[in-house]
Amino acid sequence: MEIGLDIVEVPRIRRVIRRAPGFLKRVFTPAEIAYCRGHKDPWPHYAVRFAAKEAVWKALGQARVALRDISVTRDGRGKPSVLIRGRRARGLKLSLSHGEDYAVAVALKEDKA
Ligand SMILES: CC(C)(COP(=O)(O)OP(=O)(O)OC[C@H]1O[C@@H](n2cnc3c(N)ncnc32)[C@H](O)[C@@H]1OP(=O)(O)O)[C@@H](O)C(=O)NCCC(=O)NCCS
């Protein structure tokens, strides 16, 4: 089993996206962007997805996956799960939380993943 954790400052991700719009499409999938844009305050949602990508990357323990290849999807109840290049990564578990200032993500990779 491997574990990955990440914390992101919400104002920082907001600043980066506003200053460098290219960052958005480099890092987030169209579905993630659509989900975040659907909120009045999209920034905690972007921040937590960025944290999720880094947490998963850490749990995977190797650099061959780009952050853009890792994305977050949600089930009908809002529970997040991981997609790698658009395909459900069943052995990877994710938990996310965000406040006004910080967003955190923890990812767990099961042995067989
Ligand atoms: C789901 C729940 C745990 C979210 O907690 P919160 O303190 O509001 O928000 P947090 O910042 O900690 O977490 C937000 C993230 O939790 C995740 N999340 C949402 N629903 C989830 C669920 N059912 N299971 C696991 N994770 C969930 C999402 O990734 C969400 O981020 P996103 O909206 O950007 O995708 C909360 O709504 C809850 O306690 N629900 C259970 C009770 C309930 O259903 N109450 C309402 C009906 S009476």
Instruction: Please identify, by atom number, the ligand 1 atom nearest to the C-alpha of residue 48.
Output: 34
CA of 64 to the centre of ligand 1 (A): 31
Chain centroid to CA 101 = 16
Q: Please compute, for residue 83, the number of CA atoms within 13 A of its CA located in the half-sphere on the CB side.
A: 15
Q: Hey, which residues does 96 pair with through a beta bridge?
A: 105
pLDDT band at 113 (very low <50, low <70, confident <90, very high): low
pLDDT band at 17 (very low <50, low <70, confident <90, very high): very high
Residue ranges per structural domain of the chain: 2-109
pLDDT of residue 36: 97
* Residue to mutate (ligand 1; options 8, 13, 74; most atoms within 8 A of CB): 74
Q: What is the CB < 6 Å shell around ligand 1?
A: 45, 48, 74, 77-80, 96-98
pLDDT of residue 11: 98
pLDDT at residue 4 is higher than 60: yes
Provide CATH code, domain 2-109.
3.90.470.20
Q: By three-state DSSP, how is residue 28 classified? A: coil
pLDDT at residue 21 is higher than 90: no
pLDDT digits (tens, 9 = 90+) for 51-96: 999 999 999 987 689 999 999 999 999 999 999 999 999 899 999 9
pLDDT at residue 112 is higher than 80: no
Q: What percent of the chain has pLDDT over 70?
A: 98
